[in-house]
């Protein structure tokens, strides 16, 4: 017997029918999805606009009241899928360059402070991938992304915290990266001490 989804969350039928489809040249769109996901939701009707997606069921467009938990959950999923698509794109060095050029690093910084743990984790992974390129690391230094990452070392989500340290290791692949991380250590020594001592379980 099939169980019903909790009333406070959208059902799988509601949220499982949309698939992102992005390739090269998609960075401006991805940035808009991260910064302004409400742009994908029609304010007047509360319905969802699907310009960014390939709907599996074109005749079914859900409608959620504004400020509802379902609508907030949908926005979280829009951001999660956008970040996952970005991570896939960042395996191509050309896309890393485009991500930097189109201002995605500040957008990722902002998502590192998201209340949703999955969004934070994906944003941290994306920053780590960007840090592997010279251009990406330069932009991260300018945008204070290293500071953002060091401040997340005590994140309460275990997976996010692990990826923070992995991303910081990638930052430290170059002397400039090491210097930047050490500078953040000097600026916030107490936080580093707590992380090293296992202050977060």
Per-residue pLDDT tens over the stretch 27-43: 888 898 899 887 655 44
DSSP string computed for 100-123: HHTTHHHHHHHHTT-S-HHHHHHH
| Averaged pLDDT for residues 126-131 | 97
Per-residue pLDDT tens over the stretch 95-124: 999 999 999 999 999 999 999 999 999 999
Percent of the chain at pLDDT above 90? 47
**Positive or negative CA dihedral for 120, 124, 130, 134?**
positive
Provide the pLDDT for residue 184: 81
Partners of 106 in the β-ladder: none
Partners of 54 in the β-ladder: 19
Q: What's the CATH code, domain 17-196?
A: 1.25.10.10
pLDDT band at 21 (very low <50, low <70, confident <90, very high): low
DSSP string computed for 53-88: EEESSTT---B--TT-HHHHHHHHHHHHHHHHHHHH
Strand runs labelled E in the chain:
18-20, 53-55
User: Residue 191 is encoded by which pair of tokens?
Assistant: 């936080």
Q: Cα(201)–Cα(188) distance, rounded to whole angstroms?
A: 20
Provide the pLDDT for residue 108: 98
Count of other CB atoms within 10 angstroms of residue 87? 15
| 3-state SS, residue 40 | helix
Provide the pLDDT for residue 77: 86
pLDDT at 185 over 80: no
User: Residue 4 is encoded by which pair of tokens?
Assistant: 């019903």
| Averaged pLDDT for residues 172-182 | 89
Per-residue pLDDT tens over the stretch 39-63: 655 443 444 443 444 344 444 445 6
Domain ranges of the chain: 17-196
Provide the pLDDT for residue 176: 87
Residues in the chain: 201
User: Residue 89 is encoded by which pair of tokens?
Assistant: 């794109």
């Amino acid at each position: 017997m099939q169980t019903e989804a909790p009333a406070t969350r959208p059902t799988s039928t509601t949220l499982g029918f949309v698939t992102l489809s992005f390739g090269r040249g998609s960075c401006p769109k991805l940035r808009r999805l991260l910064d302004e996901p409400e742009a994908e939701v029609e304010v007047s009707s509360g319905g969802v606009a699907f310009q960014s997606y390939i709907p599996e069921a074109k005749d079914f467009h859900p409608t959620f009241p504004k400020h509802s938990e379902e609508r907030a959950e949908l926005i979280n999923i829009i951001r999660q899928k956008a970040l996952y698509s970005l991570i896939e794109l960042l395996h191509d060095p050309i896309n890393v360059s485009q991500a930097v050029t189109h201002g995605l690093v500040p957008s990722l910084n902002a998502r590192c402070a998201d209340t949703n743990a999955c969004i934070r984790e994906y944003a941290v992974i994306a920053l780590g991938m960007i840090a592997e390129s010279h251009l990406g690391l330069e932009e991260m230094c300018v945008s204070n992304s290293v500071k953002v990452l060091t401040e997340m070392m005590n994140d309460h989500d275990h997976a996010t915290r692990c990826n923070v340290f992995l991303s910081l290791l990638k930052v430290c692949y170059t002397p400039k990266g090491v210097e930047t991380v050490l500078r953040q250590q000097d600026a916030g020594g107490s936080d580093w001490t707590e992380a090293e001592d296992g202050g977060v379980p």
